[in-house]
Every structure is written in C-alpha cells, then in structure tokens.
Amino acid sequence: MKYSCFFILLIVILAITKVNAQETTTPAIYPVLGKNDTIRVAATNDNGYMIPWIGLNEVVINGNRIWKSPQEKAYFNRLRYNVLKVMPYALFAKRRYEQLERELSTTNDKKEQKKLVKACDAEIKQMFNTEIKELTITQGQILTKLIDREVGRTTYDIVKQTKGGFAAFSYQLVARVVGHNLKTTYSATEDRDIESIIVNSGYYQ
C-alpha cells in the first residue's frame, strides 16, 4: 500500500513538471497591433494568448442620503463638525507614534529610549495644553476612537507601552471622571457615520 501511494505521488509530480515545461516552452501569441496602438500596457498570459489590460483607479460612488427627520440631519452635521475638528489631532498622534517607534528601534540603550519617550510625551502634552484641552467631552470621545483607527491601538495601550501600566491605569481613572474611556476602540461598521465622514473628508486623497 505504501509503495502504491508513493508511485501515484511520483506520477502526479512528473505530470505537473511536464505541464510546467509545456507552459514555459509554448510561444506566447500577442494581439496584432494597429498603427495607433502606441501605449504600453500590462498583459496576462491566458493559455498562450497575451491579453492586454490597463489598471484603473478605484471609483467610489456615494448616493445622496435621505434623512428621516431634520433632527437626524442636524445630528449628522454636528457629528461631521466634531469629527473634522479632531481628525488632525488623530493624524498627528499617528505620525508622532510612528516616529517614536522608528526612533526606539534604532537603539537598545534604556536611557536613550526613555529620553525619546519623554520627548514624545512632552510634545503631546504641549499640544494638549494649547489645543486639545479645549475639546468638548463628545469631541474627546471621538478623538479616542480615531486614534485607535489611525494608530491601530487604543490610547490606553499606547500610554501603557510608553509610560507603563500604572500611568495608563492612572490616566484611565482621570479620563473616566470626565466621561472618557481610553480603552475605546473603533469599528468601521458600528461607527459607519464617522467612517463615511472620514472617507469623504479628503484626508486620504
């Protein structure tokens, strides 16, 4: 039984090798070009025939939203204002956190790493003291979600990694007092209105 299985496997391997050899030795058939066919395009070999093709940019089609009530429209417009208000801060957090990770990866010296983390923390605190502290509770909650969306980690996880578990726990206690939750995550499905606003905001064009 073992020898028969080995024999069958050998036949399959030889058959595959033969097919591959035929594919590589068979000359490709290209389409006949006209005098105006001067644009170079990609092509795919389909059983010996070269099929030309051109990649197109993604086209997003959005329909006009029908509001159930003036209140629903007013809510969405307010949400849009809040999202666009805090989106630059989320993008800043993303860039600064990515920069910190790159800098930390260049050194194994603990003192140098602490210095880099401290510099990042000071920069974020400066922005907080000048701008973020003026945000409303709703805007702060949205910002927490957007940081998770952009960085791929919650604010709590970021603080825990850079400043330690006790600092993250302490920050979370303070945040909960004023109605925030640093562990808030983002879901493109559950937060579809926010996702729609971001997609149509022009930030990623």
Extract the tokens encoding 168: 């993250």
Task: Report CA-CA distances (Å) from 199 to 16, 59, 76, 194.
Answer: 47, 13, 15, 9
Q: Where are the domains of the chain?
A: 70-199
What is residue 153's predicted lDDT score, i.e. its pLDDT? 78
Say what the pLDDT of residue 72 is.
92
Closest CA to 156 of 143, 144, 146, 140: 144
Global confidence as pTM: 0.62
Render pLDDT for 150-195 as a digit per residue (tens, 0 to 9): 888 787 887 777 677 877 777 677 667 666 777 788 888 889 899 8
Q: What is the pLDDT of residue 71?
A: 93
pLDDT at residue 132, rounded to an integer:
67
DSSP 182: T
Dist. CA 205–CA 198, nearest whole Å? 11
Angle at 167 between CA 191 and CA 101, to 5 degrees: 70
Q: Give the pLDDT score at 108.
A: 87
Which residue in 52, 47, 43 sits closest to 27, CA to CA? 47
Cβ atoms within 10 Å, residue 125: 11
How many Å apart are CA 115 and CA 25, to the nearest integer? 61
pLDDT of residue 80: 93
Residues of the chain with pLDDT below 70 are: 1-26, 62, 128-132, 162, 171, 174-175, 177-179, 204-205
Helices 192-199 and 70-104, axial angle in degrees (round to 10): 70
- Please, are residues 168 and 182 in contact by the beta-carbon 8 Å criterion? yes
**What integer pLDDT is reported at residue 21 of this predicted model?**
47
Q: Which residue has the tokens 């595959």?
A: 16
